[in-house]
Structure formats: structure tokens, C-alpha cells
Amino acid sequence: MPSIADPLVLPCGAVLPNRLAKAAMTEGLADPQGRATAELTRLYGLWADGGSGLLITGNVQIDRDHLERPGNVIIQGPQDAAALAGLRAMAAAGVRAGGHIWMQISHAGRQTQVTVNPHPKAPSAVAVGLPGKQFGLPEALTEPEILDLIERFGHAAEVAKATGYTGVQIHAAHGYLLSQFLSPRANLRSDQWGGALENRARMLMAVVARVRAGVGPEFPIGVKLNSADFQKGGFAFEESVIVARWLQDAGVDLLEISGGSYEQPAMMDIHGMQAPDMPSPQKASTAAREAYFVDFAKTMRASLTMPLLVTGGFRTRRAMNTALETGGADVIGLGRPLCVDTAGPAKLLAGAEELDRWENKLKLLPPWLSFLGGLKMLRAVEGFAVTYWYYAQIDALARTGKANIGISPFPALLSIQKAGKAWLKARKG
């Protein structure tokens, strides 16, 4: 039976040295021109030394006007010497312990903050359904613009390969552009890019084909796909299984199963932001085993042969090995624990039973508040503050080599937001 220490041969022939992956997490550490920095090199060196067989970078954007957050690395058009040097240094650090580093390539679409772009491009002019005016009303992409974006994904993958990354992951989850095309709620188009599932999946499949054409048959290509959007009328699990089969037929080497979007953030486990009539992204049995999306992956496994990566909630070696042994995953993704303890994978491989559960130590509101009405939003704000605490840990690791566990979640949120505003100001010159 497979265990976390076993290598994995991917369909393209590449070999992951073990079954543990550092999942993609946003870093916000690029310079105002979107170039990789010395901080990113330090960060990925730490994670490489920590024992993961695979590191997946945070969002590398293919359009400077559509960022997931200020500080994203950007690959758009020809890269200058400084940009290429930064990417090479980051990649070299990521493979220095013998593992893989894959670049996650993405476009935020309508989930671009209004401070970055008040009118981002999207499949249709459908705004993100959140209060606070964080996101503007998007403009529907024209067909020439869609074709140009497909080319940009391919170009970014070629740059990744040329600068030393050992694979790419195409981000088609969490409500970003390719996920928006898949969603019947966000994609209201009546042309060949909307309507039936085959049309809504057309852009993703075209991106995969363009990337494969650009990088060749032996270079690993991963895709991050929602198991579901967890919204009525959204991208459903049954559709996800069909798209997964198409991706397998297209030669994808590793499929990561995730779920949710900014409107329904199952991927961040901020359940206070979920509508009460929406299904939970995890069964009780899954919660007991820790992994948020492993039940979806096990169901998909019945009709798939390509390797599956599952991220979200894993903390114990027993749960990880159980997921591998039962077919719930072929690779285990780790996120938040590695924001504090970069050597977590090495410890697990050496026999450690469990990673620290820092999120349990960061609850700011007393438990009795959950019994009062009208406070779900407050809980959600607390959840976002905790998420920003992890952002702050990534920032501290990158700048100093050590986590900053002494900072509280709300000060961490304010600090990261302040840094984002400074980045945007510097970008505008």
C-alpha cells in the first residue's frame, strides 16, 4: 500500500520523490513590476529543504491588470533580464533538495480587487456576490480576448519551463477566470464559450492543449479543479467528474481536487461565509479524517486513472496514509502548517505523528458568541483575520527566515493590507 514516503511516477514519466506537496498559497512578495524577488527565493528554499516532494507556487498571473492580490508574480509578454533572473533563482531554490517546483499559472477574472482594476474582464458581466464593493462589475470578454488569454497561459508555461520550473499547475478553481467559465452562474454566454458544459469547459481544455503544445509531452502539467462551487446553480460535482475525465484524456498529469470561491470559500474553511441552504463541502466522516475534499476525490477515482492531489485539513500522518491507501488521494497537499513549520514534511517522513494545529490557537471570539443570532459575519471576519495571520507568517519566513507567531490575527490583517496598498502605490509610480 502506498505511503507518504513512496515516490510517484506521473503519466508524463516525471517522478515525485514522495507523496507530500506544499500546496499553492498566495505570497504577495513580488516587486511592483511583478518580478520574483530575493524574498521568494528564500521562502522556496526553506520549503524545499523542508522535505516536500512537490512545491506548487502561489498564483503567477498572466495579466498584470487581473491580480489575485497585490504582490503577485506576473508573466505577461517578454520578460526582461531582471524578471528572468528572479524566476530562475526562485526555481533553483525550489529544487535544491531534489524535489519538484511547479508554477501555478492563473488569471483572477472578476475576482480582481477593485483597487487593482475597477472593471476586470470575465466570461460575462456578472459581479462577485459579496458586500463591501471589493470587486467591480466585470466586462464580458470578447472572443479575440479569450483567444489571446489562451495564448498567454501557454506563454507563461513556456517561461516556467525555460527558467527551471519542473512543471506547471493551471488554476481552474476557487472562482478565478477558468473556474468562472465553468460556472453557469458566472458564465451566461450564448456563444461557443458558454451554455452546455462542453462549451463552458472549452477555455480550460484549450488552455491545457496550448500549454501541452508549448512544453512538450514529458513536462508535468497539473490542473486545480473545483469538486463543486457549493452554490445553487453553480458548477456541480457531476460536471466536475465529467471535466476531470476530459482532462485525463487531454494528458493532464496531476489533478488537484478543491472547491469553492470567494462567494463560498470552502477552500479556506470559513464556514460562516456559507449560505445556510448550501451543502457542506465535507461530510462528517471526512471531517473526522481531516481532509475536506477527500470524499469527492474518492468518488472521482471510480472513473479516473490519473493521479489526484487533495489539499485541505490534513494534520496527522495516519490520516494522510489512510487517504493514500484507500484511494482518496495519490498526493497529499499541505498548506497552513508549512506557513509556520517549513520542516513539517521532513518530520512526518521521519515518523512524526502530527503537525501543529495553529488555527485552533487563534480563535479570537468566545465560543458562546456562536449561539447568538446575527454574528455569523463576525465569525467570518475572524476567519479572514486568521487567514491573514498565515499570510503574515509567509511574509516573515520570506523576509527573516523565521515565522512570527507572536503577531495576533487582526494586526496581521492590517499589516498585510497596508503592505498591499504600498505595493499598489509603488506600482502606479
Per-residue pLDDT of the chain (429 residues; tens, 9 = 90+): 899 999 999 999 999 999 999 999 999 999 999 999 999 999 999 999 999 999 999 999 999 999 999 999 999 999 999 999 999 999 999 999 999 999 999 999 999 999 999 999 999 999 987 776 888 999 999 999 999 999 999 999 999 999 999 999 999 998 899 999 999 999 999 999 999 999 999 999 999 999 999 999 999 999 999 886 666 777 888 899 999 999 999 999 999 998 655 655 544 443 333 322 323 444 444 444 456 677 778 888 888 999 999 988 899 999 999 999 988 899 999 999 999 999 999 999 999 999 988 876 776 655 555 555 555 666 667 778 889 999 999 999 999 999 999 999 989 999 999 999 999 999 987
Left if phi > 0, otherwise alpha if psi is -120 to 50, otherwise beta: which for 42?
alpha
Q: Which of 260, 256, 169, 160 is nearest to 208 (CA)?
A: 169
Q: Do 201 and 182 meet the contact criterion of CB atoms below 8 Å apart?
A: yes
Q: How many CA atoms, within 13 angstroms, populate the side-chain half-sphere of residue 222?
A: 34
- Please report the pLDDT score of residue 312 as a whole number: 80
- The DSSP call for residue 271 is G
State the DSSP H helix or E strand holding residue 309, giving kind and residue range, or none if neither.
strand 308-311
For residue 308, the cross-strand partners are 255
CATH 3.20.20.70 fits 8-355, yes or no: yes
Helices 143-162/81-94 angle, 10° precision? 60
- What is the C-alpha to C-alpha distance for residues 9 and 3, in angstroms, rounded to an integer? 14
Q: Please report, for the chain, the start and end positions of each structural domain, with discontinuous segments joined by +.
A: 8-355
Q: Which of 97, 79, 112, 92 is nearest to 17 (CA)?
A: 97
State the DSSP H helix or E strand holding residue 310, giving kind and residue range, or none if neither.
strand 308-311
pTM of the model: 0.91
- What is the C-alpha to C-alpha distance for residues 344 and 39, in angstroms, rounded to an integer? 20
Q: Which of 145, 144, 106, 138 is nearest to 124 (CA)?
A: 138
Q: Do 62 and 156 meet the contact criterion of CB atoms below 8 Å apart?
A: yes
Helices (H), 5-61: 38-49
- What is the C-alpha to C-alpha distance for residues 175 and 198, in angstroms, rounded to an integer? 18
* Backbone φ, ψ for residue 172 (5° rounding): -125, 35
